[in-house]
C-alpha cells in the first residue's frame, strides 16, 4: 500500500520527555492536528487507556530549543505553556492555575521538589539565565552568574541538587561544569561543590545512596562517571557515546534506581538500550535504533525509542513480563502495517576523508524500483546532531517515488565520540562539504545512481552545507535549504544568545565567516544554480532575511530560486498541513530537475 503525502509528512519526533511518579508514567505526544506537543499520562498497572492531560501545546523556549517543559508534582503536573511560556499547575483535582508569567521570559528544565511543594527550573530573559524555585506564590533564585544552566536534578530524599552550567563562547557539548549543593531547610543552596574536567559534562543523575553520576566526554566518549568520590570512577569504559549531543534541557538517556540501571550505547550511529540488574546485563531492543528518553519507577522501566520498522514508541519493560507498548505506531507485520510494508534496511556506507584513518559515514536507502535512480542526500542540522537508521516515512515515500536516499553524518556529528565532533573546529564550510562529496562519490561507485540527478537537502546548519556543496561541485543538480544558514557573518550578529559564540569555534573571525558562507560562494560560482528555500516567518535562529537574500543572489547570477515561506512557523516546520505543502513542493522541485 503506497504511502500518502500525509504519511510522508508525519514527523519522527512524535513522542518526547518521559517522567514517572509512584502511580503513573507521563510523556509528550505530538498532536496530529496542530503539530504541538500535548501531555499524556498512563496509570500504572491499570486497564485504562492513556489519557491526554493537557491539550494546550506544552513546550519550553529556553535556548530556542527548549526541553524539560513539565514535571509531575504531588499527583499533579507543573508545565510550561508554549505560546506565552507561563508556568502552569494542574493539581490532582484537575484544576489548572497559572503560577508564573513574566514578559519576555522562558522556562525549561523543570524539576520537581515535592518535599517543599515547588518546582525548580531554568529561567531565561533578556538579562540571561538562572536557576530558580517556584511555588504558586513565591519565586526564589537558587543560582546565577553563569551564562547558561541545564539539567537540574534533585536527589530522591530532596537533600541535594545537581546541575550543569556553561558560559560563552562554549556550547554544552564543548565545555561545561557540574555542580552539587545541599538543599537547606529554607530551600536555599549551601555547601557547593564543582567539577570541571575540561570537557563536556551532561545529564547528571543520582544513584543509590545519593551517588552523583554524570556523563563526561573528557576521555573521548560520553561515558558515565561517579564523581562524588575522592577519585571519579568510570562506570562503563566502552569506547562509545552513551548519550546524544545535549541540544535540549531535560534529556535523560541513562537512569539509576536501587540496584538497576538502564542506559544506552551508540555503535555505528545506532543506539541499543541496556538494563543492568546486579551483574546481569540485558539488551532491551530487538535491534538498535534511537533512544529518546528513559525513566525508572517501581512499577516499571520506560523508554521512548525508535527502530527500523516503526515511528517513536513508548515501551514499558517489567521483569518477567513481555514488553508493552503504551504509545506510538505499533508494528503488526501480520496486519501489514504501513511501516512494516514500506521499510527498507539502511545500508552503512563510509568513505575515507581528512587524515589517514578518518572516514565519513552515513546510511543508504535504495529506491523501491531495482534500477538506476536519482539520489536525495540529506544533511542534518546542528551541525552536531545526527541521523539514525530508523524508520522515517519521508524516506520511505521518496523511495516509492523512485529516489535513492543517503543520510549523512559528516564530521562534527554527534554519536561518534568527542574527536569526531571536534574535527569541525574551524573547518565548517570546508570539511563538511568535503565529506558530502566523498560519501556521494562512494555511493555512486557502489549503487545504481543517476549521477545527473543528484539532489541535496539540509535543515538549519545542514542547509549551510547543502548550499555550499551545490556551489562547490556540479555533482548536485539542485539543493533544498530548510531554514538553512546562508550568511554566517550576518547570523553571528543576529542569532539568539545560545549560539552567539558558536560560529567563532566553527569557522573563525569575521573574514572567514564571510568567505565560508553560501552568500560569498554563490557569486563566485561559474554556473547557474538551482535551489528551493523553505523558511518559517517567526524563525529566531535563522532569520528569514537570510533566506530572501540568498534567493536574490542566485537569481542575480542567472540561477533559479524558489522560496516557500510559512508565516507562523519558527525554526522547523511543525504544522501538519504546512509539512504536506512543503513536501509536495519539494518533490515537484526534484521531479522538475
pTM of the predicted structure, to 2 decimals: 0.92
Strand partners, 560: 530
SS3 293: strand
What is the C-alpha to C-alpha distance for residues 151 and 214, in angstroms, rounded to an integer?
Answer: 10
Distance separating alpha carbons of residues 265 and 270, to the nearest angstrom: 8
What pLDDT is recorded for position 335? 40
Q: What is the DSSP letter of 31?
A: -
In the prediction, which pLDDT does 342 show? 57
What's the confidence (pLDDT) of residue 332? Answer: 46
Cα separations (Å) of 310 from 287, 304, 307, 342, 344? 12, 12, 6, 10, 12
Beta strand segments in 259-332, E? 260-267, 270-277, 280-283, 290-297, 300-307, 310-317, 324-328
Whether 36 and 57 have beta carbons less than 8 Å apart is answered as yes
CATH, range 347-592? 3.40.50.1820
Cell of residue 496, nine digits? 539568539
Question: In angstroms, rounded to a whole number, what is the distance separating the alpha carbons of residues 222 and 242?
Answer: 5
Is 59-252 assigned to CATH 1.10.3210.10? no
- 462 CB-contact burial (10 Å; exposed 0-12 / middle 13-18 / buried 19+): buried
Do 347-592 and 59-252 fall under one CATH topology? no
Per-residue pLDDT tens for 209-244?
999 999 999 999 999 999 988 899 999 999 999 999
The C-alpha R_g of the chain, in whole angstroms, comes to: 23
Domain segments of the chain as ranges: 1-31+256-341, 59-252, 347-592
Q: How far apart are CA 200 and CA 179, in angstroms?
A: 13
Residue 486 DSSP label:
-
pLDDT beneath 70, residues of the chain: 330-344, 370, 593
**DSSP state letter for 63:** G
Name the one residue in this structure whose C-alpha cell is 513508548.
314
**pLDDT score for 152:** 96
- The answer to whether residues 52 and 94 touch, using CB atoms and an 8 Å cutoff, is no
CA-angle at 333, arms to 332 and 335, nearest 5°: 70
Alpha-carbon distance of 135 to 87, in angstroms, equals 10
Amino acid at each position: 500500500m503506497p504511502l500518502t503525502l500525509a504519511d510522508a509528512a508525519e514527523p519522527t519526533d512524535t513522542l518526547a520527555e518521559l517522567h514517572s511518579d509512584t502511580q503513573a508514567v507521563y510523556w509528550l505526544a505530538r498532536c496530529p492536528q496542530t503539530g504541538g506537543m500535548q501531555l499524556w499520562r498512563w496509570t500504572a498497572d491499570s486497564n485504562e487507556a492513556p489519557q491526554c492531560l493537557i491539550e494546550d501545546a506544552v513546550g519550553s523556549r529556553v535556548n530556542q530549543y527548549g526541553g524539560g517543559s513539565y514535571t509531575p508534582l504531588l499527583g499533579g503536573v507543573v508545565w510550561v505553556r508554549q505560546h506565552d511560556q507561563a508556568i502552569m499547575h494542574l493539581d490532582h483535582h484537575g484544576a489548572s492555575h497559572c503560577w508564573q508569567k513574566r514578559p519576555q521570559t522562558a522556562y525549561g528544565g523543570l524539576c520537581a521538589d515535592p518535599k517543599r511543594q515547588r518546582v525548580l527550573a531554568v529561567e531565561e530573559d533578556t538579562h540571561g539565565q538562572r536557576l530558580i524555585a517556584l511555588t504558586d506564590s513565591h519565586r526564589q533564585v537558587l543560582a546565577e552568574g553563569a551564562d547558561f544552566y541545564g539539567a537540574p536534578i534533585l536527589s530522591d530524599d530532596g537533600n541535594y541538587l545537581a546541575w550543569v552550567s556553561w558560559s560563552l563562547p562554549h556550547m554544552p557539548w564543548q565545555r561545561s561544569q557540574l555542580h552539587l549543593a545541599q538543599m537547606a531547610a529554607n530551600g536555599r543552596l549551601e555547601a557547593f561543590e564543582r567539577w570541571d574536567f575540561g570537557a563536556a559534562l551532561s545529564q547528571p543523575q543520582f544513584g543509590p545512596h545519593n551517588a552523583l553520576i554524570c556523563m563526561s566526554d573528557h576521555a573521548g566518549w560520553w561515558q558515565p562517571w561517579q564523581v562524588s568520590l575522592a577519585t571519579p570512577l568510570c562506570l562503563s569504559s566502552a569506547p562509545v557515546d552513551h548519550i546524544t549531543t545535549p541540544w535540549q534541557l531535560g534529556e535523560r538517556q541513562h537512569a539509576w534506581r536501587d540496584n538497576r540501571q538502564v542506559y544506552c550505547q551508540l555503535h555505528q550511529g545506532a543506539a541499543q538500550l541496556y538494563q543492568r540488574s546486579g551483574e546481569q546485563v540485558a539488551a532491551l531492543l530487538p535491534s538498535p535504533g534511537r533512544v529518546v528518553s528513559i525513566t525508572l519507577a517501581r512499577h516499571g522501566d520506560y523508554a521512548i525509542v525508535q527502530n527500523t520498522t516503526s515511528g517513536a514508541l513508548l515501551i514499558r519493560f517489567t521483569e518477567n513480563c513481555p514488553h508493552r507498548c503504551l504509545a506510538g505506531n505499533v508494528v503488526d507485520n501480520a496486519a501489514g502495517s504501513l511501516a512494516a510494508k514500506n521499510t527498507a534496511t539502511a545500508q552503512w556506507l563510509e568513505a575515507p576523508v581528512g587524515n589517514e584513518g578518518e572516514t565519513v559515514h552515513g546510511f543508504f536507502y535504495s529506491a523501491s524500483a531495482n534500477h538506476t535512480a536519482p539520489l536525495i542526500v540529506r544533511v542534518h542540522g546542528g551541525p552536531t546532531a545526527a541521523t539514525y537508521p530508523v524508520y522515517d516515512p519521508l524516506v520511505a515515500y521518496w523511495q516509492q517515488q523512485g529516489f535513492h536516499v543517503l543520510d549523512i553524518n559528516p564530521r562534527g556529528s554527534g554519536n561518534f565520540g568527542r574527536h569526531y565532533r571536534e574535527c569541525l573546529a574551524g573547518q565548517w564550510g570546508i570539511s563538511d562539504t568535503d565529506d558530502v562529496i566523498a560519501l556521494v562519490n562512494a555511493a555512486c561507485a557502489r549503487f545504481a545512481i543517476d549521477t545527473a540527478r543528484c539532489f541535496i537537502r539540509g535543515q538549519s546548519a545542514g542547509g549551510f552545507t547543502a548550499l555550499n556543496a551545490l556551489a562547490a561541485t556540479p555533482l548536485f543538480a539542485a539543493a533544498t535549504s530548510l531554514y538553512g544558514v546562508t550568511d554566517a557573518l550576518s547570523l553571528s550578529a543576529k542569532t539568539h544568545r545560545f549560539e552567539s559564540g558558536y560560529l567563532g569555534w566553527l569557522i573563525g573571525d569575521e573574514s572567514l565567516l564571510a568567505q565560508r558562507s553560501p552568500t560569498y560562494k554563490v557569486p563566485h560560482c561559474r554556473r547557474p544554480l538551482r535551489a528551493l528555500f523553505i523558511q518559517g516567518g517567526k524563525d529566531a535562529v535563522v532569520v528569514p532575511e537570510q533566506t530572501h537574500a540568498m534567493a536574490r543572489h542566485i537569481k542575480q547570477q542567472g540561477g533559479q530560486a524558489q522560496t516557500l515561506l510559512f508565516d507562523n512557523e519558527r525554526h522547523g516546520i511543525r504544522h501538519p498541513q504546512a509539512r504536506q505543502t512543503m513536501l509536495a513542493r519539494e518533490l515537484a522541485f526534484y521531479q522538475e530537475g
